[in-house]
Amino acid sequence: MTVAYDGSFYRGFAAQPGLKTVGGTLASTLHRVTRHEVDLVCAGRTDAGVHAWGQVVSFDLPAAGLDLGKIQRAVNKLCGPSIVVREIAVAPADFHARYSAKARRYRYTVLNRDVPDPFLAPTSWWVPQPLDLHAMVMACDPFIGEHDFASFCKLDKGRTISAPSMRRRVVDAHWDDAGDGVLQFWIEANAFCHQMVRSIVGTIVDAGRMKKHAGEITAILRARDRSLAATLAPAHGLCLWEVTY
């Protein structure tokens, strides 16, 4: 299934006991609709408050009597509008939403105006200070290619920095000016480590505020030191846009 959701209402994707999550809600709803327990696998485990337009999930169901349209309509009726199944299809037997993915694409939205917008507030980071978009564009270049992103990732508890585990290949990172103060950061990579996009956005916005120089980004990457990057950009500006297979 290709799933879109408003992450404002959920404590991330992964099911957690006692918490309302996207994955937990989807799994329980699918169980209710199909009368079968499902083990959901997702392409990207988004954090609390993060949205998705193109999240992909896979799971197994018996083929006999399978009515995909009925499942889609029932899930959307029970979960919408905060969670919506955009597409549903039978995948090859060896398909895996996470491990079959070749790339993930995220969009981060910044609202750079003097006055906030209540209609954009749930899905954008309001930054009232003037931003130098040229500096932010220049700050994207060092991220392209394969790097160790330890400076821009939160380590899981109990893990130490390991070069192979933090290496990611970024194929695109750029800003679009949508007009009227709406700036959109797009980034695509083979995979992302925990909080990587929000850390990158926070650092680039610091460059736009002239708190950092674009030329510092390469040094921050090479240092493999999380303390050198900026504070995380807020979760609600981030959206998992697309997964490529």
Q: What is the set of active-site residues?
A: 47
Check residue 90 and report its DSSP letter.
P
Q: Which residues contact 170 (CB under 8 A, 6 or more apart)?
A: 143, 144, 145, 146, 147, 187, 188, 189
- Of 191, 225, 195, 230, nearest to 99 by C-alpha is 191
Q: 3-state class of 202 per DSSP?
A: helix
Judge contact between 112 and 103, C-beta under 8 A: no
> Which amino acid would we find at residue 135?
A
Check residue 43 and report its DSSP letter.
S
Distance CA 27, CA 40 (A): 7
Number of residues in the chain: 245
